Chains A and B, each alone.
Chain A
Amino acid sequence: MARLVLSPRELREYIREHTGREVTACMHCGTCSAVCPVVNFMDMHPAALVRAVQRSAIDLGNLKVIWACISCMTCVDKCPRDVAPGLVIETLRQLALRNGIEPRTYSQMPIDETTPSILLVLYSRKGTG
């Protein structure tokens, strides 16, 4: 699957339907990216992802952040505008799986001594939609 074909409005509504949250409420403060324990393993940090989602400018097939996110929901807890990036990511992840996009399993990821073990756990259990 190539680029997401939803318009910004459609994607926003889809996310609202699935999370009850409003992605356009993001004020680009960066709290989510600051608190994310695995932000260094993402191709796009949570705040940047939310910004991209606002414009529906995402390439779901090639997006790594949805597989790197460990669903710790710290960003959901800390987001000062209740945008809940973690839930947005969860929604995108399920959207990807439902569109037949292969999950990135942990055999595909670089592993070295800096990789937190929680990331391994999450990589291995993210195959379900």
Chain B
Amino acid sequence: MCHCGVNIAGTVDVKKVVEEVKKLPDVVYAADYVYLCSQPGQELIINAVKEHKLDGVVVAACTPSLHYETFAKAVEKAGLNRYVYEMVSIREFDSWVHADRALATEKAIKIIATAVAKLRGDKPYERARLDVIRKALVVGGGIAGITAALSLAKMGIPVILVEKYATIGGKMAMLHETFPTLDCAQCILTPLMAEVARHPLVKIYTLAEVDSVEGHVGKFKVKIKIRPRGVRVEDCRLCGFCERVCPISVSSEFDRGLSKRKAIYIPFAQAVPSAYVVDFEHCNRCGLCVKVCPTKAVNLEEKERVIEEEVGAIIVATGYELYPLEKIPEYSYGPENDVIDSLQFERILSVQGPTRGEVKRPSDGKPVKRVVFIQCVGSRDVNHLPYCSKICCMYTAKHALLFLENVPDGEAYVFYIDVRAAGKGFEEFVKRAQEHGAVYIKGRVSRIYKDKLTGDVVVEGFDLLENREIVIRADLAVLAPGIVSALDKRLAEMLKVPVDQFMFAAEIHPKLRPVEVASAGIFIAGCVQGPKDIPDSIAQASAAAAKAAELLIQGYVEKEPIVAEVDRDKCNGCRACVTVCPYGAIEIVEGKARVNEIVCEGCGACTATCPVGAIQLRNYREEQALEMVRAVMRVR
């Protein structure tokens, strides 16, 4: 028992506690010391174990979160198993929170008595040590996934990067310039894309999706389904002959439907991998491209394949999508109505986009002079998404500014609820847009429609500061839809990512552990965790890479043996435990529950649920708990 200077001894009568504890059943030896955590204090424990041939130790001191490990090491040094040692807090739970010396002393005795009672049922266990495969899987090749993959590779860890689209780059590749500094998105992104593609330790699979994940931290078996590209990457020289002869023309997903592409195409010039791709859904197999390709790179017979990889950790960076605007019919979303979403506006601004950077109406190509931006479309609304999408205030300010720079005699109106510009340089950036002439209207838009006679886009709303209805006849309306997670339920389950009600990945601790989730070995980065901008995505991806590297570089994980155990005689196979286990550690084998010791985190949810008491946590068995309660009752 420790005095912790006067921290404990100032309130608790230490000598009395020791005398009383000596009287408890099975207690062979009890002593106190001023600072047990000190070297001589630890020696005291070691010597006592050896001298009195003790088979269990209780330390009553500060708190386990501070010194559990210190005393566990001492106990091990003395030749005992660490699981037949208990540490109890008589500081935080007693001396620090009570003033009455007699009562605090009595409480200390009770606390120690419970530990002694529990110790009687404790059994020694060994920690399992499992090897970790030194390789990581990154799912999603946006800026977050690229950053994480590069960071890991630079630490010498091989990485598999799986991207479902034909190129990596994610949404950032679609952007024109980025707030608040207005660097050109492609100029800062494409060098990174090239770097990750070049890195010898990174293997990129595009047109690929994870098909199944088995195993656990340190050893995940992953099946990856790869759709055919139809073009051999090594042979494609980007001459574009194929594209010219292809008779099929469909709308381009990269330009979000604002331009056409062929059935053999390249999403954008700097795509990685740097090669054309066949859209097999639309290709009619006329074979013209095969004939014109000078390097015979086109192969329309290529089949889908499934490959298998083993990795030690997984970083999920699947990013975001925009809230589906069909759910807000009163805004008449659609390029044909000249009502577009914010990513379409990025494409219009882009010099590589459908209008080569000229701001024209999608419906008829008329130059745009007056544009209305609408913030919080679907966000901050209990009928749609109750959360704030965080980035749209900023990119709307950017859009207004870039538009006014692009069209000096133009007019830009922004409907807003609040302008949220909390970030370095953000408020200054919004001010810049406003100084440039963007008119901010505090209020909401009730409806938008295309005036068929004049071709105007009519935006009707209410101006709260002028206290009246407002109608703006514009050339273009740009909506800022909410940010939603690209994860779906099936994918989240497969990747073992716990999600919140909006399918955003749920971190294990929102403050202290922001890139880890409850499943060991799985990390998250970027917009999959919640709406965020590029700097935040990069910061989080770097953190996720560092956390994954901690695990992968160490090369092994040690598993606490305090896990659930099933009494197969009692278990009736009701599956109650299977449903409550947050880690998916329990399965039913031959009609009875079985715990995967590696996956189980020892949370005890199953033990509380089992109707017949068949599943128990090691060293936290029901009998032990009862003994502890009895011990408290017995004192005095």
Contact = CB atoms under 8 A, between A and B. Distances in A.
A76 B507 CA distance: 35
A47 B464 contact: yes
Nearest to B384: A80
A98 interface: no
Select the residue from B418, B463, B467 with max chain A CB neighbours within 10 A: B467
A33 B462 contact: yes
Contacts of B461: 30, 34
A81 interface: yes
Interface in B359-403: 376, 380-384
Contact of B442 (A30, A40, A45): A30
Interface residues of A, number: 18
Contacts of B443: 29-30, 33-34
Given A35-B446, A39-B469, A40-B469, A30 B381 contact: no
B444 interface: yes
Contacts of A31: 444, 446
Most A CB contacts (10 A, CB to CB) among B376, B446, B463 go to: B446
Contact of B381 (A45, A47, A80): A80
Given A30-B462, A34-B443, A81-B382, A45 B417 contact: no
B445 interface: yes
A33 B381 contact: no
A82 B382 contact: yes
A82 B384 CA distance: 12
Nearest to A28: B464
Contact of A48 (B381, B382, B418, B467): B467
B321 interface: no
Given A30-B442, A35-B446, A45 B462 contact: yes
Contacts of B382: 80-82
Given A35-B446, A39-B469, A40-B469, A30 B383 contact: no
Interface string B439-482: 00011111000000000000011111001110000000000000
Contacts of A27: 380, 417-418
A18 interface: no
A78 B383 contact: yes
A77 B444 CA distance: 15
B380 A30 contact: no
Interface in B406-429: 417-418
Interface in A4-39: 27-31, 33-35, 39
Given A29-B417, A45-B467, A48-B467, A34 B445 contact: yes
A30 B463 CA distance: 8
A80 B383 contact: yes
Contacts of B417: 27-30
Given A40-B469, A47-B464, A34 B446 contact: yes
Interface in A34-68: 34-35, 39-40, 45, 47-48
Which among B376, B418, B442, B462 has the highest number of chain A CB atoms within 10 Å?
B462
A54 to B, nearest CB: 15
A29 B375 CA distance: 11
Interface string A74-89: 0001101110000000
B381 to A, nearest CB: 4
A34 B445 CA distance: 6
B332 to A, nearest CB: 15
B536 to A, nearest CB: 24
Interface in B492-532: none
A120 to B, nearest CB: 21
Contacts of B446: 31, 34-35
A82 B444 CA distance: 16
Contacts of B380: 27, 29, 80
Nearest to B460: A34
B479 to A, nearest CB: 15
Nearest to B465: A30
Given A34-B462, A80-B382, A82-B382, A29 B444 contact: yes
Nearest to A29: B417
Contacts of A48: 467
A28 B443 CA distance: 8
Contacts of A80: 380-384
A48 B463 CA distance: 11
A24 to B, nearest CB: 15
A17 B352 CA distance: 58
Nearest to B383: A80
- Most chain-B Cβ atoms within 10 A of its Cβ — which of A34, A35, A77? A34
A66 to B, nearest CB: 18
Contacts of B384: 80
A121 to B, nearest CB: 22
A33 B383 contact: no
A25 to B, nearest CB: 10
A30 B469 contact: no
A29 B446 CA distance: 12
Contacts of A30: 417, 442-444, 461-464
A39 B462 contact: yes
Nearest to A81: B382
B372 to A, nearest CB: 13
A28 B464 CA distance: 8
Nearest to B463: A30
A122 B359 CA distance: 47
A27 B380 CA distance: 10
A80 B445 CA distance: 13
Interface string B200-242: 0000000000000000000000000000000000000000000
Q: Which residue among B444, B445, B468 has the maximum number of chain A CB atoms within 10 Å of its CB? A: B444
27 contacts: A27-B380, A28-B417, A28-B464, A29-B380, A29-B417, A29-B443, A30-B417, A30-B443, A30-B461, A30-B462, A30-B464, A31-B444, A33-B443, A33-B444, A34-B443, A34-B444, A34-B446, A34-B469, A39-B469, A45-B467, A47-B462, A47-B464, A48-B467, A77-B383, A78-B383, A80-B383, A82-B382
Interface of A: 27-31, 33-35, 39-40, 45, 47-48, 77-78, 80-82
Given A28-B417, A35-B446, 18 more contacts: A27-B380, A29-B376, A29-B417, A29-B444, A30-B442, A30-B461, A30-B463, A31-B446, A34-B443, A35-B444, A39-B462, A39-B469, A40-B469, A45-B467, A48-B467, A77-B383, A80-B380, A82-B382
List 5 tightest A-B contacts by C-beta distance, closest first: A80-B381, A34-B462, A34-B446, A33-B462, A30-B443
